[in-house]
Structure 1
Amino acid sequence: MAERKKILLRLDPAVHDALARWAGDELRSTNAQIEFLLRRALADAGRLPGDTAGIPRRGRPRKRIRDDGGGQDGDGASGDGPDGTGPDGTA
């Protein structure tokens, strides 16, 4: 991934406070909220370049869900036997 650009942004304190509250409501940092809003404005104006990378995902990765209908982490917590049968050996 290319290095992200750093800029100095001067804001009215009331605007910063409103942005910080909005970011908190959406579980984003103030910086991420500003980038989100800038990207949305660029896209709405038809000015977002097509080769723009997505916003990097931050925080804890999402839980993986098993495809076989079992539990989320595959630890057999649902009472399955070691061979996929029920605890009494039946399917």
Structure 2
Amino acid sequence: MASPGKKSFLLRIDPAIWAEIERLAAQELRSSNAQVEYLLRQALVQRGRSLPADNADNAGEDPSASE
């Protein structure tokens, strides 16, 4: 079940990519879902897209902190 205020959607993804996301999530102590959201936020920041201040840290960490 989706968290309140979160949009849920179906994602079709290559099994090899998903396996790597799961490994990375385990290493960084996140759920796979949180890892996907974290990576998407990182990608948006790297492309110069601003995120609303109240949603910038929902994935547990500041995306720019790992750069």
Question: By the TM > 0.5 criterion, same fold?
Answer: yes
For structure 2, which runs of at least 5 residues remain unmatched after alignment?
Answer: 61-67
Q: Which residue of 2 aligns with 1:55?
A: 58
Q: Which residue of 1 aligns with 2:65?
A: none
Query: C-alpha root-mean-square deviation of aligned residues, in Å?
Result: 1.8
Say whether residues 1:13 and 2:15 are aligned partners: yes
Deviations 1:27-74 (A, max 9, x none): 1011000000100110111113334512165xxxxxxxxxxxxxxxxx
Matched, 1:41 2:43: yes
**Length-normalised TM-score, structure 2:** 0.71
Higher helix share: 2
Q: Segments of 4+ in structure 1 off by > 2 A?
A: 48-52
* Matched position secondary structure for 1:28: coil
Contact 1:23 1:33 (C-alpha < 8 Å) held by counterparts: yes
Please state if 1:26 is matched with 2:28: yes
Instruction: Report the equivalent of 2:5.
Output: 3
Consecutive unaligned residues of structure 1, counting only runs of 5 or more, are 58-91
Q: 1:52 to 1:45 in 2, by over 3 A?
A: farther
Structure of higher RCO (CA pairs closer than 8 Å, 6+ residues apart): 2
Write the distance in 2 (CA, Å) between the matches of 1:7 and 1:37: 16
